[in-house]
Amino acid sequence: MDYYKGRLSLSDEVYNQILNQVTSGEWKVGDKLPSESKLCSMFGVSRTSVRAALQNLQGSGIIVTMQGVGSFVHRNPAQGVLNEEPVEALKASDITSEEFKEFFEFRQAVEFKAIEFFVRRSTKEDEAILKNLVEKMQEAGKTDDRVAFTKYDFEFHMAVIEGAKNVFLYNSMLNYKDIFFHYMEEITRLTDKPISVLAEEHVELYTYLVEKKPKLAKDYLFCDNTYYHVAYFNGR
């Protein structure tokens, strides 16, 4: 497409292109947009035009941008505001956006490092424990049992940290296990994803761990948690 023809500015063209990706369902609510450099390549425009388009999209409530993280789809105009029910549900939640962000940063410090150690130090027994917990999550998904799923989800992540074979990392999370469990309870309660979908997401995370792919495991966990922050806590 020749962006230099027509009445629209380059940034308006990019705005419309991204909007089309959202309204068509190609990019769904919670999805992370490509980086600015990738968007420049996709649309053949400068970073200035991309940034202007992103600013306009954020102003329209289509996306939200988290500094140092990236931009995420927040609303699909073709479907209305998809987050109304979760946001309403948050009125009953005692986790604020800032608390969520701070606990996620704590998880990064502990769990991301644990992932690096797990892929290097874990035993077949450690992997078997994760496999068993994933299977239990899948069973919970068959009946959409959120209580059981949360229990196994919590045990899964604690097992990853324990499998890292670093007593200080494990004890750091153990000291906050009650907060960690409550945090996961709230996320499971507020999400509109079926439990079966959440279980399959853990299958993917488990696969990255046993295949010794720490970067993919950390990227997956990071994007998953950022999705919850954007979809349920933005603007609270």
Cα separation, 150 vs 195, in Å, equals 10
Rounded mean pLDDT of the chain?
81
At 81-124, the pLDDT tens digits run: 434 343 343 334 556 767 777 888 888 889 999 999 999 999 99
Q: Average pLDDT of 213-236?
A: 70
In angstroms, how far is CA 231 from the centroid of its own chain?
9
Residue 20 has pLDDT above 80, yes or no: yes
Please tell me whether residues 65 and 88 are part of one structural domain.
no
Residue 4 lies in a domain: no
Q: Could you identify the residue written with the tokens 């649309």?
A: 43
Of 54, 73, 92, the position where a domain reaches its end is: 73
Q: Average pLDDT of 9-21?
A: 89
CB contact at 8 A, 115 and 157: no
In angstroms, how far is CA 172 from the centroid of its own chain?
23
3-state helix, strand and coil shares in percent for the chain, rounded to the nearest 5: 70, 5, 25
Q: What integer pLDDT is reported at residue 66 of this predicted model?
A: 66
- Read off the pLDDT band of 71 (50, 70, 90): confident
Count of CA atoms in the C-beta half-sphere (13 A) of 133 = 24
> Which two tokens mark 56?
């306009």
Segments forming the whole domain that contains residue 34: 10-73
Residue 225 has pLDDT above 50, yes or no: yes
Please tell me whether residues 22 and 111 are part of one structural domain.
no
Please tell me whether residues 46 and 24 are part of one structural domain.
yes
Q: Of 91-95, 115-119, 166-170, 225-229, which range is least confident? A: 91-95
Q: Which residues of 131-142 are buried (b: 16+ CB within 10 A; e: fewer)?
A: eebbebbbebbe
Q: What integer pLDDT is reported at residue 67 of this predicted model?
A: 61
CB contact at 8 A, 91 and 50: no
Q: Could you identify the residue written with the tokens 């049992």?
A: 145
- Read off the pLDDT band of 57 (50, 70, 90): confident
Please tell me whether residues 98 and 152 are part of one structural domain.
yes
Query: Per DSSP, what are the bridge partners of residue 65?
Result: 71
More confident residue, 164 or 77: 164
More confident residue, 60 or 126: 126
Q: What integer pLDDT is reported at residue 7 of this predicted model?
A: 54
Q: What integer pLDDT is reported at residue 9 of this predicted model?
A: 82
Please tell me whether residues 60 and 112 are part of one structural domain.
no
Residue 79 lies in a domain: no
Cα separation, 130 vs 100, in Å, equals 25
> Which two tokens mark 154?
């919590």
Residue 80 has pLDDT above 70, yes or no: no
Q: What integer pLDDT is reported at residue 94 of this predicted model?
A: 59
Please tell me whether residues 165 and 61 are part of one structural domain.
no
Residue 3 lies in a domain: no
CB contact at 8 A, 176 and 106: yes
Q: What integer pLDDT is reported at residue 83 of this predicted model?
A: 41
Query: Per DSSP, what are the bridge partners of residue 66?
Result: 70
Q: What integer pLDDT is reported at residue 109 of this predicted model?
A: 87
Share of the chain above pLDDT 70, in %: 81
Residue 204 lies in a domain: yes
Pairing between β-strand 70-73 and β-strand 63-66 as defined by DSSP bridges: antiparallel
Domain harbouring 49, CATH code: 1.10.10.10
Please tell me whether residues 97 and 39 are part of one structural domain.
no
Please tell me whether residues 135 and 68 are part of one structural domain.
no
CB contact at 8 A, 47 and 5: no
Structural domains in the chain (count): 2
Q: Which of 41, 62, 63 is nearest to 50 (CA)?
A: 41
Residue 1 lies in a domain: no
DSSP string, 125-143: HHHHHHHHHHHHHHHHHHT
Please tell me whether residues 68 and 90 are part of one structural domain.
no
More confident residue, 100 or 233: 100
Please tell me whether residues 135 and 180 are part of one structural domain.
yes
H or E segment at 65?
strand 63-66
Residue 118 CB contacts under 8 Å (≥ 6 apart), including other chains: 126, 160, 163, 164, 209, 214
- Helix crossing, 177-190 with 97-107: angle to 10°? 120
